Amino acid sequence: MEGFLVALVIASTPLLFATLGEIMTEKAGLLNLGVEGMMLIGAVAGFGAGYTTNSPVIAVIAAIVAGGFSGLLFGFLTISLRANQVVSGLTLTIFGAGFSSFLGTNFIGLKMSESFITSFEPFKIPLLSSIPIIGNALFNQDLFVYGGMIVAILLGVYLYRTRKGLNLVAVGENPSAADASGINVDLYKYVHLTLGGALCGLGGAYLSVVDVPQWQDNITAGRGWIAIALVIFVAWNPIKAIFGAYLFGGLSIIGFRLQQYGISQSLLDTLPYLVTIIVLVISSTRNSKDNGPPKGLSVPYFREER
């Protein structure tokens, strides 16, 4: 059981980063369906930079920059050039897949060095890690896992307790109200899109740099899409995102453990995607004012439109 929980938290970490990134983006009223692409770009950038320099710090920075840049690109297309958000997002996914494949051909089969891997070894947090059952899973992990939880909590505080966060919510809900209150709507969108992209990039890099850590083509394997569904499932709430990510992380690894009972592996592999569909159906029937999507989601805003 404990081993399962440890593996669950690890499997949920890339989902958590990507979900938080997309929450930030959608809170600004932008629907970026390019999460999968941004994760792949982050993954290949992180792996490439890490492998070449053998520096974990540079690997992380490269993933952040690459992910952030891909978010910025989406912003340029949809905010400045006023392109359609859905089409731009899908394009970004296709672009990310091709781009990572192209750069990744040089890395196929390569593995990170031992010294690199040790810098992402789990380390125990005293006291907390000795809590029975969940102690090891939550408090004896690598830096990325802690980072994901901290970012989730910070984002929660940011969205609901700070002025900038409240302004962001206003931008996503009712951009004309935000504009009339003197908030720079486009700037808010750009900034949070970029930060959201950076988080997605980090999620992808966790897979290539820490979890696997070896380059494989299409390393994210649809996790970006699950993250988009997760955003809806957790009702755009970063704190709930932690638990949502655990649920799907668990589903993605439960297959290995159920195999011994003679259930078809192919069937088990479909579990996360099946549950995604079920979750989306359930959330679409839920009708609560506080748990709904930002009202301005995917609606472009231009001030002088009439």
Partner 1 sequence: MNANVYVKMHNISKTFGLVKANDSVNFEVNKGEIHALLGENGAGKSTLMNMLSGIYKPDSGSIFIRGKETIFHSPKESINMGIGMIHQHVKLVDVQTATENIIMGMKGGFFVNSKSISGKINKVSEQFGLLVDPNKKVYDMSIGEKQAVEILKVLYKGADILIMDEPTAVLTPQETKKLFETMRKMANEGCAIIIITHKLNEVMEISDRVTVLRKGKTIGTLITRETSPKEMTDMMVGETTNLSIHRAEVLRGNKVLEVDHIYAKNKQGVDVLKDISFNLYEGEVVGVAGVTGSGQKELCETISGLYPTESGRILFKEENLIGLTPKDIIKRGISMSFIPEDRLGMGLVASMDMVDNFLLKVHHEQKGALVKRKPVAKQCERIIKKLNISTPGINHPIKQLSGGNIQKVLIGREIDTNPHVLITAYAVRGLDVGASHTIYDLINEQKRKGVGILFIGEDLDVLLGLCDRIIVMCEGLITGNVITTEVTKDEIGLMMAGGKMAGIKKEEVLHAND
Binding-site ranges for partner 1 (CB under 8 A)? 161-164, 166-167, 169-170, 173-174, 176-184, 287, 289-290, 292, 295, 303-304, 306
CB of 136 vs partner 1, minimal distance in Å: 34
Q: Residue 140 or residue 167: which is nearer to partner 1 going by CB? A: 167
Q: Using CA atoms, how far apart are residues 228 and 14, in angstroms rounded to an integer? A: 13
The one-letter amino acid code at 41 reads: I
CB of 288 vs partner 1, minimal distance in Å: 10
Q: Residue 114 or residue 305: which is nearer to partner 1 going by CB? A: 305
Q: Residue 122 or residue 292: which is nearer to partner 1 going by CB? A: 292
Q: Under a CB-based contact definition with an 8 Å cutoff, are residues 282 and 302 in contact?
A: no
Provide the CA 166 distance to its chain's centre, in angstroms.
Answer: 22
Dmax over CA atoms of the chain, in Å, equals 63
Q: Under a CB-based contact definition with an 8 Å cutoff, are residues 197 and 45 in contact?
A: no
Q: Residue 266 or residue 287: which is nearer to partner 1 going by CB? A: 287
Q: Residue 133 or residue 299: which is nearer to partner 1 going by CB? A: 299
CB of 234 vs partner 1, minimal distance in Å: 16
Q: Under a CB-based contact definition with an 8 Å cutoff, are residues 181 and 170 in contact?
A: yes
- Torsion 262-264-265-269 (CA) sign: negative
CB of 295 vs partner 1, minimal distance in Å: 7
Q: Is 47 exposed, middle or buried (0-12, 13-18, 19+ CB in 10 A)?
A: buried
Provide the CA 108 distance to its chain's centre, in angstroms.
Answer: 24
Among residues 223, 236, 218, 208, the alpha carbon closest in space to that of 296 is found at 236
CB of 170 vs partner 1, minimal distance in Å: 5
Q: Residue 171 or residue 198: which is nearer to partner 1 going by CB? A: 171
Quick one: tokens of 3? Answer: 């081993």
Q: Residue 133 or residue 177: which is nearer to partner 1 going by CB? A: 177
Q: Using CA atoms, how far apart are residues 288 and 122, in angstroms rounded to an integer? A: 40
CB of 162 vs partner 1, minimal distance in Å: 5
CB of 253 vs partner 1, minimal distance in Å: 35
DSSP 266: H
Q: Under a CB-based contact definition with an 8 Å cutoff, are residues 226 and 248 in contact?
A: yes
